[in-house]
Chains A and B, each alone.
Chain A
Amino acid sequence: EVQLLESGGGLGQPGGSLRLSCAASGFTFSTDAMSWVRQAPGKGLEWVSAISGSGGGISYADSVKGRFTISRDNSKNTLYLQMNSLRAEDTAVYYCAKDLGVTNNWYFDLWGRGTLVTVSS
């Protein structure tokens, strides 16, 4: 079955760290760019970060640049998001999403169920 399964969410302290994981199955993970997209409670979708299939190309939203690090282990079919210096405004459901692969644009054709990150003291 083609799926993405996030884990690692939970309660984080302001200024603290959390590491999210996303296990992929049912497709050739190493050939597809991946992203993290988050959704604060009752709010819209916000793209967080993206990484190319090889891991050589990485980009971040300004809101997380310098605090979050995206990575992937293609041997384990797993995507990661290391979240440091957490802020209350990072509270959200975090989705991992697979890029469809259309040249020169970003469309996400497979999403995980999401993992909730709550930043609070």
Chain B
Amino acid sequence: SSELTQDPAVSVALGQTVRITCQGDSLRNFYAGWYQQKPGQAPVLVLYGKNNRPSGIPDRFSGSSSGNTASLTITGAQAEDEADYYCNCRDSSANVVFGGGTKLTVL
């Protein structure tokens, strides 16, 4: 099975832009999904595919991909964006793999 690697923690000043990355071989062939999880809550899908946002997700969330790296960008980070963020993708066996998660702190 494949692995997805994320930075454990990232911080951003209120209103600034932050990029959260996810690396793995599977990302050369498949787009990542991105999930936001706040303490005590279930994850929420915020981005999927090339750059698609589910209904209700603010447009300050965007995505990109290059080589083996997928990125989630938050443009103008808000206090409510402070959360854990996870990427996921299918692996070579068509199973699911998640990244280890990135804790985003909004300063």
Determine whether the beta carbon of A44 is less than 8 Å from that of B88: no
Q: Using Cβ atoms and an 8 Å threshold, which residues of chain A touch B94?
A: 59
Query: With A and B bound together, what is the CA distance between A34 and B82 in angstroms?
Result: 28
B35 interfacial contact with A, CB 8 Å:
yes
CB distance from B14 to the nearest CB of A (A): 26
Which secondary structure characterizes the binding site on chain B?
strand
Chain B 66-101 near chain A by CB (<8 Å), digits 1 or 0: 000000000000000000101011100111111111
B54 interfacial contact with A, CB 8 Å:
yes
Q: Using Cβ atoms and an 8 Å threshold, which residues of chain B touch A37?
A: 96, 98
With beta carbons under 8 angstroms apart, the residue of B37, B44, B49, B101 that contacts A102 is B49
Q: Please, which residue of chain B has its CB at the minimum distance from the CB of A62? A: B1
Question: How many A residues, CB 8 Å from partner?
Answer: 23
Give residues 38-84 of A contacting B (CB, 8 Å): 44-47, 50, 59, 61-62
Q: Using Cβ atoms and an 8 Å threshold, which residues of chain B touch A109?
A: 45, 48, 54
Determine whether the beta carbon of B31 is less than 8 Å from that of A105: yes
Determine whether the beta carbon of B95 is less than 8 Å from that of A107: no
A114 interfacial contact with B, CB 8 Å:
yes
Query: With A and B bound together, what is the CA distance between A59 and B90 in angstroms?
Result: 12
With beta carbons under 8 angstroms apart, the residue of B1, B90, B95, B98 that contacts A104 is B90
B24 interfacial contact with A, CB 8 Å:
no
Contact A106 to B49, CB < 8 A, known contacts A47-B96, A59-B94: no
Query: With A and B bound together, what is the CA distance between A111 and B54 in angstroms?
Result: 14
A-B contact pairs, 5 of them (CB 8 A): A45-B88, A47-B88, A47-B96, A104-B90, A109-B54
